[in-house]
Each structure stands twice: as C-alpha cells, then as structure tokens.
Amino acid sequence: MPLIGDDAPSFTAVTTAGEINFPKDYRDKWVILFSHPADFTPVCTTEFMTFASMQDEFKALNCELIGLSIDSIYAHIAWLRTIREKIEYKGMKDVEITFPVIEDLKMEVSRKYGMLQPRASDTQAVRAVFMIDPRAKVRAILYYPLSNGRNMDEIKRLLQALQKSDAEGIATPANWQPGDDVIIPPPGSCGAAKERMEAKEESKYCLDWFMCFKKG
C-alpha cells in the first residue's frame, strides 16, 4: 500500500459517473478516495448519505470525493437509486450521490491502495480513506474496521488542517478546529530559541522554547 508522502497510485476505472483517469482527471485538486465493504449495507449507506450531504463543503475546499467497493456498476446504480428513493436518515432524504463510485470487481484499485486486509475479509475492502493533494501525493491515511462508520466531520477537519499547514508552514495541535491557534515549528538552534522567547509579538506566544503558538 502507498504510504504518506508517496505518489498516489494511478488507475483508470469505470464509475457511476463514467470512466475516470486518476490522477490526470483531478489535476490541481485535493481528492478523498475512500473504500467501503459492500453496496446495500447499512453502515455504508449512512456514510454515503453523509458524504453526499457534505459534498459542497468539500468542493468549497477544492476537494473531490471518489468512492469504491468490490461491486459491479449495476449494483452501485441500484443501491444509489434506493438511497435516493427510499432511505431517510437523520433528516437526510432524497439524497442523490453524484460523486463517482468505482466498480472494482477485479480488485485492481483495492490492491494498489492496500484496501484488502485478509484477516478482515478476502472479498470486501475495509473502510480506507486516502487524502491526496493536488500534486497527487498521499498526505493522510485512515483505516476503519468493517463494523464501524467513519466520522466525516473529522475527515473534513483533517483536510482543513493539512491545507492550513501547507499554506502557512505551521502545525496544528490536538483537537484543532479552524480558527484555533496553531503551532510554530520548533527553532533549529539555541540562538533562535532564545530570540523566540524574548520576542514580543501580539500574534505569537510561547509556553516554552520549543512550544510556540500563532493566533489563528
């Protein structure tokens, strides 16, 4: 499986939105590529509805969603139609899933991304999430077991944190939310540490020489 910092494996795939060529078709965009175990399963249904309800929020962050399971395109279409026509969950109803869902019957994409884990299942992809940046580099990887659904708010928060770090050269502390204070990288020398501790800037403050923050 690819690791953080690796090039995201390329692929061409049939999806519910037509054929896609990754990463060529997603140049200059962030991508969340996520797998689910199977169509017509309850946990996956709640996840897809939640992702679909947040799709505009991800688009506003220059991020596209791509789903995948080891099912046929016909199963995908039937399942997505059922979601739209019959399922109501937590106030979500008539939900149309427009982001592409990959048909992966031969498990080609699943194998490239390490989504198959034999001790969990030989025939279903675990709940993997790959965050891929506009340069087609893998930036974050999340894995959930078959039995438990993902937290989409956390996935969005992590995307925002990555974008903030890239834009400002900072790190984000535990439980960071947009607007919170951020961490300035530690100084590289004793002199720089001393200067940092003695500097007086309204927008920055230090708890110790290695732990300085910038107001969000």
- Which two three-digit tokens encode residue 131? 């965050």
- pTM of the predicted structure, to 2 decimals: 0.92
**Tell me, what's the pLDDT at 190?**
65
User: Is it the case that residue 191 has pLDDT exceeding 70?
Assistant: no
127 is in an annotated binding site: yes
Concatenated DSSP letters for 22-73? ETGGGTTSEEEEEE-S-TT-HHHHHHHHHHHHTHHHHHHTTEEEEEEESS-H
Concatenated DSSP letters for 104-142? -TT-HHHHHTT---TTT-SSS--EEEEEE-TTSBEEEEE
**Tell me, what's the pLDDT at 93?**
97
CA 208 to chain centre: 33
* 44 tagged catalytic: yes
Question: Residues 44, 63, 190, 212: which is the catalytic one?
Answer: 44
CA distance 98 to 84: 11
Mean local confidence (pLDDT), 174-189: 89
Mean local confidence (pLDDT), 102-106: 94
Chain mean pLDDT for the chain: 92
**Tell me, what's the pLDDT at 78?**
97
User: Is it the case that residue 146 has pLDDT exceeding 70?
Assistant: yes
User: Is it the case that residue 52 has pLDDT exceeding 90?
Assistant: yes
**Tell me, what's the pLDDT at 92?**
97
Q: Any idea which of 61-70, 101-110, 143-152, 196-205 has the lowest mean pLDDT?
A: 196-205
> What domains are there in the chain, each with its CATH number?
11-152 (3.40.30.10), 169-216 (3.30.1020.10)
